[in-house]
Structure 1
Amino acid sequence: MKKNRYIYPAIFQYADDGISVSFPDLPGCFSAGVDDEEALSMSKEAMALHLFGMEEDKDKIPEPTPTKQIKVDEGQSIVLIEVLMPPFRYEMWNQAVKKTLTIPKWMDDVAKDHQVNYSRLLQKALSDHLGIKENPYD
């Protein structure tokens, strides 16, 4: 089930060259940083991206393990990471996607003369064709 806010425990592993971050409940989700601030920032981004991928794939999103049930080794600490998904989803859904198109050269020449913005024109044509009047992800 999609939620708008997730909080998961992360394990920060401290070493001389920085901090590596893993999430016990999210296999395959890893991050790192040179200091606590960067590790926290990068782990939020990694967790949001991982959860977004799970949502898009319709995977079951696990419940977070209570921190008192997680055992850590020396040089490790548990940090709770919180992400708010609506702004992340909006960013992901609205990122630009490059598409290649093919038109006859004569048409391109005429379009250049008329200063046609291909991206804007294609977006408008797709919106009209699909019956979309506004961004469905807004």
Structure 2
Amino acid sequence: MPIKKPATKKVAKKTAKKVVAKKTIGKKVAKKVTKKVAKKSVAKKTKSKTRVLVCASPDNCFWTTDGQILQDLNELQIALSAMEEAVFNYHVQADKNDFANWVEAVLDDADCAFELRSATAPNEARSIVVRHLRTYNF
């Protein structure tokens, strides 16, 4: 009797593809050497505090309708923080702005006066004055 051999599965072998390196023909391209340049930081331009706070003479002080007497921008910003709307509206109307006129003529700050002309409320005028006070030395 013949001996039976166990059946074996035949598995097809996968052949790997050969990778052929491509040869470069001709001149080699030289790599460009680039220098890394550090970015220069640009200093932010800031206004230097060179202005001196102008204090009005007694005849040029600002008198508000509620009796306050103001001599400089610092006193104006303090007064504006507590000023009632009626007092502010007396000095600031569509055809006039007493605060801006005084700041421009007496305190000699045309930039602040220009911005004050657009203020329609005491707190808005105060924020403008505070911003301009930062440019003064005192």
The TM-score bracket by the shorter chain reads: under 0.3
Greater strand share, structure number: 1
Q: What TM-score results when the alignment is normalised by the length of structure 2? A: 0.25
Bigger CA radius of gyration: 2
Greater helix share, structure number: 1
Q: What TM-score results when the alignment is normalised by the length of structure 1? A: 0.25
